[in-house]
Structure 1
Amino acid sequence: MLACVAAGGCVGERSDDRFRETGQIIAMSGGDGGVAAACVTCHGLHGEGDGALSPRLAGLDVGYLQRQLDDYVNGRRDHVPMRTVARKLSLDDRGKVSAYYAGLPAPPPIARPTDAEGNRLYAACVNCHGSRGEGRGPANPPLSAQPAAYVEAQLAAWREGRRYNDPLGEMRHVSRRFSPEQARAVSVHAVALPGPHPR
């Protein structure tokens, strides 16, 4: 009898370990938060985003993804649904799910940049986000293939002081250069850029 109880305890432990082995399982299941907290609910089965206010995660820098989740947990980035989800993930699980999404291929942009005004305004973004919208490291995410509405909403959040988790405070400064109409134009242009050169 004692052997059965001991064996049962081991089986349960192994099952839990398998559940946490990959970021994909956490992304699909929601980890300890349950299926309602699953990343795929808002960010899509392939991390492509919802085309509106939930960004694509696929192909983003692992350090950037990890920092955003950590910032939701510690309050440096405010979004109630994401804060709730992130706080249900351990530091280790946040790292695993970040690595999973970073390893996925980025989707192609859905449009081509055509707006001359957006192109002119994007000059303020090139140093950090790249001429192709490819991003540069963990502090400067790609803008290519993100939902335009999401990028526009983030510019508004920085401009209004509701988002302030960029390392040097540069986004708050840059976002205040744009009127709401200009923020929309630069967002539409940025997300249509081709992204990184093919490898």
Structure 2
Amino acid sequence: MLTAASLSQAADPEPAKAIVKEKCRLCHGEEGEASSAIYPRLAGQNQTYLVKQLRDFRDGKRKSEIMNEMVSGLQDDEINALAGYFSSKPPLSHQIQDKMLASVGEYIFRKGNQYSGIPACQSCHGKNAEGSAELPRLAGQHKRYISDQLLAFGLRARTNDNAIMHTVASKLTELEREAVALYVSGIKPSGEDAAQ
């Protein structure tokens, strides 16, 4: 849980900038926009969620050889600073080429699939996929990253936050998974004029 003291530490971007240049920028970019679709966009991600994920990587609750090593020596104040830095960056979205597939994804995101027991994604992640303090922003995330995470949840290969997401993701067909991932990748944050 973020405290007032940790939020004030996160408000100073200088310590975070040094860590980003040393550890984060090659994969996630200096502004959190990720250099490849296999890495998540961190720009605009919810601060409390980022803190939890970074701590989970550091403490071995979430497994990733690269991330576990990258954050192994970070202290809580450094993690708070990184989360504050990336959450303050403006999120972007992707242009959607396959509108028909995205419309399938929108249907599942908004209404779920009553025939297979999949709840509407928006019931947890919000109608604009902005998440909450504890849940990730999905809007504008790379399609491939979302699809990979849904698959990992479905297979229980994701080692944290798996209880609810396994129940949902394990019921998704490949078409549904790809459609939802495509749809959320194109959701524009409020105030964004053009998708990137």
TM-score, structure 2 normalization: 0.79
- Taking a change above 3 Å as real, the CA distance of residues 83 and 177 of structure 1, as seen in their structure-2 partners, is same
The alpha-carbon deviation at position 100 of structure 1 amounts to: 1.0
Q: 2:107 aligns with which of 101, 109, 120?
A: 120
Are 1:149 and 1:187, in contact at CA under 8 Å, matched by a contact in 2?
yes
The residue that corresponds to 1:173 in the other structure is 167
Distance across 2 between alignment mates of 1:116 and 1:149: 17
- Does 2:125 correspond to 1:129? yes
Letter in 1 for 2:57: Y
Counterpart of 1:45 (choices 30, 38, 47) is: 30
Residue 173 of structure 1 deviates from its aligned partner by 1.1
Structure 2: state its 5+ residue gaps.
1-12, 111-119
Matched positions, count: 168
Report the Cα offset of residue 21 of structure 1: 5.2
Q: C-alpha displacement at 1:146, in angstroms?
A: 0.8
Equivalent residue of 2:34, what SS? coil
Specify the code of the residue in structure 1 equivalent to 2:142. Answer: P
Query: Cα RMSD (Å) of the superposition?
Result: 2.0
The answer to whether the Cα contact below 8 Å between 2:26 and 2:35 also exists between their aligned partners in 1 is no
> Is 2:45 aligned against 1:60?
yes
Tell me how far apart the structure 1 counterparts of residues 32 and 152 of structure 2 sit (CA, whole Å): 23
- Identity, in percent, stands at 29
Question: How far apart, in 2, do the equivalents of 1:119 and 1:106 lie?
Answer: 20
Residues 95 and 186, structure 2, Cα contact 8 Å, conserved in 1: yes
Task: Tell whether 2:90 aligns with 1:111.
Answer: no
- 8 A Cα contact 1:119 1:186, kept in partner: yes
- The alpha-carbon deviation at position 63 of structure 1 amounts to 0.8
Give the greater-gyration-radius structure (CA): 1
Provide Cα deviations, 1:132-170, integer angstroms capped at 9, x if missing partner. Answer: 222222x2111111110000000011100111422x821
Which 4+ residue blocks in structure 1 deviate beyond 6 angstroms?
none
Aligned to 1:13: none
Separation (CA, whole Å) in 2 of partners of 1:173 and 1:72: 23
